[in-house]
Structure 1
Amino acid sequence: MIRKTGTSAAISLVLMTILGCSQAPAVDVMGSLFPAWLLCIALGAIFSTLTHWILTRRVINLPFPFLTYPCLGAVYAFTIWLVFF
């Protein structure tokens, strides 16, 4: 039983180190390659600002805006990452 567990742990360790060897996702912007996470963060900030503008125009007040908008920006960034990359 111990031998089988040790073997599967060793195989898992080898597989985890091999899976990190792919090329990092990058986006070509006017000839320069930018990391994809940077684009996701920028779009998350833009969508969060747009959401703030829409909620302000509709006079919807949030109880904790200092916490809501950064979390909303992170949700947007993670969602963009999961959908496109």
Structure 2
Amino acid sequence: MNDQRCERIHEHRALRHPEPPPRMRGRCARALSCLVAAALAGCSASPSISVLGAFFPDWMFCVLGALATTLVVRAVLGRLKYERALGPPVIAYPALLLLISLLIWLLIFNS
């Protein structure tokens, strides 16, 4: 009786969680290995700039440049009374900062 109960439990589990076919497992393994290889390829060199002998990461310069540019854009929009057209400032200015910092990185540091 105990064996029959165990068999029913295993059958029930097999119906709820069927194992993927072997072909699908191979695809998942290949996709995962491609993602790992792509992630490790990005670690080949650290992007940094030497300033008076100290090395600073590129993203720091991108964020500082984007911050200055975003403050200028905010001042210009405020002066022209277009600041409300941007939407909620809590969302608009961080998005603008991110956009400008990524553009600076793409235009200057992406070689």
State TM-score, norm by structure 2. Answer: 0.60
Distance 1:71 1:13 in 2: 28
Match of 1:20 among 42, 49, 73: 42
How is 1:6-85 mapped onto 2 (pairs within 5 angstroms)? 8-9=30-31, 12=34, 15-16=37-38, 18-62=40-84, 63-84=87-108, 85=110
Question: What secondary structure does 2:81 align onto?
Answer: coil
What number of residue pairs does the alignment pair up?
Answer: 85
TM-score, normalised relative to structure 1: 0.74
The C-alpha deviation readout for 1:34-74, integer Å capped at 9, x for no partner, is 00111111111111001011112222232412221111111
Q: Percent identity?
A: 27
Q: Which runs of 4+ in 1 moved over 2 A?
A: 4-18
Structure with the larger RCO, 1 or 2 (CA within 8 Å, 6+ apart): 1
- Larger radius of gyration between Structure 1 and Structure 2: 2
How much does 1:28 deviate?
A: 1.8
Please give the root-mean-square deviation of Cα atoms over the aligned residues, in Å. 2.5
